Amino acid sequence: MVAGLQADLGRRPDDPRLLTRLGVAYVTRARETADPSFYAKAAGVLERATRLAPGDADTMVARGLLGLARHDFRSALAWGTRAAEANPDLPDARGVVFDAQVELGRYAAAVATAQAMVDAKPTQGSLARVSYARELHGDPAGAVAAMVQAAAAGGGSPTDQAYVQTLIGNLHLGAGRLGPAEAAYRRAVAGQPGYGLAEVGLARVAAARGDLAGAARRLEPVATALPLPATVALLGDVRAAAGDRAAAASQYRLVRVIERLNKANGVAVDLELARFEADHASDRGADPGRVVAMARQALAERPTIYAEDTLGWALRQAGRPAQALPHARAAVRLGTRDALLWYHLAAVEADLGRTAAARRHLAEAFAINPYLPVRDRQHALALAGRLDLPVPRTPVGDRRRIDRSCGLGRPFACASGIPDRRPGRTSSR
């Protein structure tokens, strides 16, 4: 793809359409390889395309995609909005707008964008975004239903299809349904052998089942071929859970190197790095104060529920639970059914002696997903012990059914009515 376009450009070096396609191909290559050095190349050709054809909507979308990939969400939002104005029929433009709005914490606007997208056309791209909007707003069953519709809508590349199946798997895994999660990941790798994100999903399923060796076996090749910081960190967590601290530490060091490379290649990594460092506040050489500063910076740039969670967690790990509490509460303000957010809130409350609230919210976390990520599970169980909370007997969560009343039978009945916001599901005091 890249090579062919480069050859075409050799013959027509000033063709803005070719430049735009090459820019998108570079961004895709960066995503497929996790190598951020492609971003600079993408930026170069896309800036040239803009100079040659300033009004071209495809180029604006491409610059929006690059902004998303580099976590420059303000730029992505601006380019996506301009593209949608230039050509309202361009579905990708509004997709860029939605993704940027979500990452900037502008949830009401994002919901409106998803709604407009799916009303215009229920495509894979629009349904996947409806799914994410529902997931964020605490409607996991509706999220699965929309994502299943997205898979059925088809129309994407084989990679897109594998990605959608992986997202279905992630939704199931987040709800503690290991069997359906595994099935979805397997569908993804059946369509796209070796698909990294699905392999990571299968590793997480293995880890949830307590099969740490199996998880590590799956992660090793992915961490080499597609060294995303989250994947490398997960391999470290699996190694640590298996008792190999030296191997874990080596993976964690690699995470920091990768993020440094990302940063050098123009990717904003404050939130990701703060998230990671907050989890490693007691590692050798850790600097909790610096992590808090990083998380504050990230929250200012990207006021999302996950940035709130990260700052709350960083403050808690730095021994400042009173300051952490408003952020940990803000992280669950949409009612998102993400067990980690509720566990973090419970841990902060426990530090403050708010035992009843802590117990309630930790119970909530285990009810959402009794497995929790491999890194957090032991800590959460220990906290449950301190709070005298009965611990769910995992692994039996596979059999819970998902509610499909919204979706499959009546294809878009749901899509037109949602995603509705659910006020008042924030933490009880």
Partner 1 sequence: MSPIARRGAVLAVLTIIILVVAGAAGAAAHPLGNFTVNTYSGLRVGPDRLDVDHVVDLAEIPTFQTRQAIDTDRDDRVADAEAGRWRDRECRRLAAGLEARVNGRAARLAVTGSALRFPEGVGGLPTLRLECALSTPCPPAPGP
Binding region for partner 1 (CB under 8 A) = 33, 35-38, 40, 227, 246, 250, 253-254, 257-258, 260-261, 263-265
CB of 307 to partner 1, least distance (A): 24
Residue 126 contacts residue 91 (beta carbons within 8 Å): yes
Q: What stretches of 121-244 show up as alpha helix (H) in DSSP?
A: 124-136, 140-153, 158-174, 178-191, 196-208, 212-225, 229-241
Nearer to partner 1, 209 or 263 (CB): 263
Residue 265 or 297: which CB sits closer to partner 1? 265
Please provide residue 171's backbone torsions phi and psi, each rounded to the nearest 5 degrees: -65, -45
Residue 239 CB, nearest distance to partner 1 (Å)? 14
- C-beta closer to partner 1: residue 39 or 132: 39
Buried b (16+ CB within 10 A) or exposed e, 287-313: ebeebbebbbbbbebbebbbbbbbbbb
Does residue 424 come out as left (phi exceeding 0), alpha (psi in the -120 to 50 range) or beta?
A: left
Tally of residues, the chain: 429
> Closest distance between partner 1 and the C-beta of residue 261, in Å?
5
Nearer to partner 1, 134 or 239 (CB): 239
Whichever of 224 and 416 has its CB closer to partner 1, that residue is: 224
Give the nearest distance from C-beta 172 to partner 1 in angstroms: 32
- The least distance separating partner 1 from the CB of residue 258, rounded to whole angstroms, comes to 7
DSSP category for residue 74? H
Contact in structure between 68 and 96 (CB atoms under 8 Å): yes
Cβ distance to partner 1 smaller for residue 262 or 310:
262
Which tokens belong to 426? Answer: 């924030």
The minimum distance between CB 2 and partner 1, in angstroms, equals 11
DSSP-derived secondary structure letter, 36: T
Burial zone of 183 (CB within 10 Å; 0-12 exposed, 13-18 middle, 19+ buried): middle
Q: How far apart (Å, rounded) are the C-alpha atoms in residues 56 and 94?
A: 15
Closest distance between partner 1 and the C-beta of residue 64, in Å?
24
Nearer to partner 1, 2 or 109 (CB): 2
Nearest of 423, 421, 422, 404 to residue 146 by alpha carbon: 404
> What burial class does residue 355 get, using C-beta atoms within 10 Å of its C-beta: 0-12 exposed, 13-18 middle, 19+ buried?
middle
Identity of the residue, 227 or 397, whose beta carbon is nearer to partner 1 in the bound complex: 227
Smallest distance from partner 1 to CB 268, Å: 14
Q: Which is nearer to partner 1, 108 or 246 (CB)?
A: 246
Please say which residue, 58 or 270, places its beta carbon nearer to partner 1: 270
3-state secondary structure 341-360: HHHHHHHHHHHCCCHHHHHH
CB < 8 Å & 24+ apart, contacts of 148-155 = 148/407, 148/408, 149/122, 149/407, 149/408, 149/411, 149/412, 149/415, 150/124, 150/125, 151/124, 153/122, 153/123, 153/124, 153/127, 154/124, 155/123, 155/124
Smallest distance from partner 1 to CB 27, Å: 14
- Give me the residue label for tokens 């960190």: 233
In this structure, the number of other CB atoms found within 10 A of the CB of residue 76 comes to 26
Residue 352 Cβ vs partner 1, minimum distance, rounded to whole Å: 37
Instruction: Identify residue 330 by its one-letter amino acid code.
Output: A
